[in-house]
Amino acid sequence: MTGKNREAAHKAGSTDAEAILERLAARHSCRVFDGRPMDQETIRRIVLDGTQAPSSCNQQQWHFIVITDREALRKARDIAGGNPHFSECGALIYLTFQKGWAHRNYSVVQSVGAAGYHMLLSTHLRGYSGIWNAGVGDHSQLREMLGIPEIFEILGALAIGRAAETAPAMKAPRRPDETIMSFERFERPAPTIYPVKPAESYPADRIANHDNPFAEWNPSAWTWEQLADFRGYSVWAKSPTPGVFVSARHGEATAREMEVLGPVAPGEKVAEIMPWGGTTTVELLRHLPMDAQLNVVELSDNNLSFIRERLRREGLERSSTSFLRADRGRLPFPDASLAIVYFPQSLEQVPDLSGVLDEAHRVLKTGGRLLAGTRNMTSRYGRQWRDDESRGQVPLQGPFTPLPARTVRSAIADRFEITDEAGIGLAQGYDADLSRGAWRHRRRIYVIKARRR
């Protein structure tokens, strides 16, 4: 082959490669399947495609367990807890590997991960949809259900199948090139590196989702830019699927908060501050008159696009709803322009409580209402947070530290006239009993309503 022919072949190969890579890049995670079964031979081919991935030392110490039985899929869903799509997918493929071959760099884990991604690409190219699930629930229950010996570790599961017509066909945003790549040496923008507690070293084998001694839960240790970055990408770990992914800490509690808010007059301008994934926005919109002007305020445009899609899926699109970004804690409104400002368990997530309340005071008109629900440190839940939850990794919505109810009350009383208080629930979970009695400051969620003088 002449040099000219080689060059032509190289160009043709590059063109083919770009077309293939563009198709692969269109793959996105699906959490809503139509429940139809898949052909077993197709599933088998997908798994075998995965085994073409590189394997450390060619040991191939992986094993893949395929579940297609509907009853078993429902049991897998129940064990996983937060993965309703497990019961509706065409097949669930558990990824496991034999322990003892991981080396110091988790080489076998890398190999199984490569195989799993290869399976997702095969699924996509064959016209199906899929999603990788690291959270699969209690491993001991899965071992019993699937007969997995102790020497094998469960890494996660792939749910594959046909996407339902209602499934959001959206790919989560990817970071800009300059934030994830550098040449010759490590260089990365500061807002994309999240705070940790100071330590001489951070050994990877000491860091787990449920036990991370270096996790920095205190939002005051974070900059506004770091919070915006964290929330703007991690929100996409969920899905804007209607009716699901409601936090166990919210549950029916948001409806109770709306009871405290009370009636809203037609046409009033309302701002919801930092709702993260929009589950509270759904409840708020259902409470507001159709012509109320809701302004959803988040720290990242990525959050806003997620919330916008969630509302569309819930059938709550309104022309009077706006989506605005707050930069460095400053609310994007003129002075004295709003009737209501609502903090849906977000005051405990801000670096500067006083500054944020000052902003709320600035943008509320005289007589305007402030409503805040906060996770309460002086409650049974607060004790559970200190003793257990805070030992783990920072959650997807970002760092937070529950606030003592009386601290919140004092900070708001310095700026507003308090008109109502209530407490919701007791321990962590869906308990949404509302009380205005003497124990309101000891409830899981403290709700306060106030008026600008």
What is the structure's pLDDT at 432? 86
CA distance 140 to 231: 32
> By the 8 A CB rule, do 53 and 47 touch?
no
What is the structure's pLDDT at 106? 83
Higher pLDDT, 59 or 71: 71
Q: Which residues contact 103 (CB under 8 A, 6 or more apart)?
A: 56
What is the structure's pLDDT at 227? 97
CA distances for 219 relative to 192, 216, 227, 403, 449, angstroms: 15, 8, 8, 12, 24
CA distance 317 to 36: 30
Task: Name the range with the highest mean pLDDT among 210-224, 242-256, 423-437.
Answer: 210-224
* Nearest residue to 331 via CA among 366, 296, 304, 305: 296
CA distance 277 to 231: 9
What is the DSSP code (8-state) at residue 2? -
Tokens read off for 141: 């229950």
At residue 159, what are phi and psi to the nearest 5 degrees?
Answer: -100, 125
Q: What is the CATH number of domain 253-451?
A: 3.40.50.150
- For the beta carbon of residue 158, count every other beta carbon within 10 angstroms: 25
pLDDT in tens, 261-313: 999 999 999 999 999 999 999 999 999 999 999 999 999 999 999 999 999 98
Ranges of H-type helices in 186-247: 224-234
Q: Burial-class residue 253 by CB neighbours within 10 Å (0-12, 13-18, 19+).
A: buried
Share of the chain above pLDDT 70, in %: 93
What is the structure's pLDDT at 237? 82
Query: Considering the chain, what is the average pLDDT of its residues?
Result: 92
Residue range(s) of every CATH 3.40.109.10 domain in the chain: 27-161
> By the 8 A CB rule, do 397 and 349 touch?
yes
Q: Burial-class residue 437 by CB neighbours within 10 Å (0-12, 13-18, 19+).
A: exposed
| Residue tagged 């209530």 (tokens) | 422
Give me the long-range contacts of 257-261 (CB less than 8 A, separation at least 24): 257/344, 257/371, 257/373, 257/424, 257/445, 257/447, 258/283, 258/284, 258/287, 259/434, 260/371, 260/420, 260/422, 260/434, 260/447, 260/449, 261/287, 261/340, 261/342, 261/369, 261/371, 261/449
Q: Burial-class residue 39 by CB neighbours within 10 Å (0-12, 13-18, 19+).
A: exposed
Instruction: List the single range of 1-15, 89-103, 107-121, 347-361 with lowest mean pLDDT.
Output: 1-15
What is the structure's pLDDT at 99? 87
What is the structure's pLDDT at 107? 87
Residue range(s) of every CATH 3.40.50.150 domain in the chain: 253-451
CA distance 175 to 138: 32
What is the structure's pLDDT at 166? 85
What is the structure's pLDDT at 244? 63
Question: How many Å separate Cα 126 from the centre of its chain?
Answer: 28
CA distance 83 to 238: 10
Q: Which residues contact 200 (CB under 8 A, 6 or more apart)?
A: none
What is the structure's pLDDT at 444? 93
| Residue tagged 């079964």 (tokens) | 37
Mean pLDDT calculated for residue range 101-116 = 85
pLDDT in tens, 171-184: 899 999 999 999 99
CA distance 152 to 96: 6
CA distance 65 to 142: 11
At residue 430, what are phi and psi to the nearest 5 degrees?
Answer: -95, 5
Q: What is the CATH number of domain 27-161?
A: 3.40.109.10
CA distance 229 to 351: 14
Could you give the angle at which helices 279-287 and 301-313 cross, rounded to 10 degrees? 60
pLDDT in tens, 317-359: 999 999 999 999 999 999 999 999 999 999 999 999 999 999 9
CA distance 148 to 113: 19
| Residue tagged 């109810």 (tokens) | 405
Rg (CA), the chain: 25
